Amino acid sequence: MMDVVYFAWVRERIGLPREKVESTAATVSELVAELSVREERYAAAFADLSALRVALDQELSDFDASLEGVREVAFFPPMTGG
Partner 1 sequence: MHVKVQEERFEFGREAEAFAAGCAGAGAVVTFTGVVRDADAGGLVAMEIEHYPGMTQKALEKITADAMARWSLADALVIHRHGRLEPGEQIMMVATAARHRVAAFEAAEFLMDYLKSRAPFWKKEILENGSASWVEAKEIDEEALTRW
Residue 78 DSSP label: P
6-45 positions binding partner 1, by CB under 8 A: 7-9, 11
54-73 positions binding partner 1, by CB under 8 A: 55, 58-60, 72
Q: How far apart are the first and last CA of the chain?
A: 34
CB of 31 or CB of 61, closer to partner 1: 61
Q: In one letter, which amino acid is 60?
A: L
Helix (H) or strand (E) holding 65: none
Name the site residues for partner 1 (rule: CB under 8 A): 5, 7-9, 11, 55, 58-60, 72, 74, 76-82
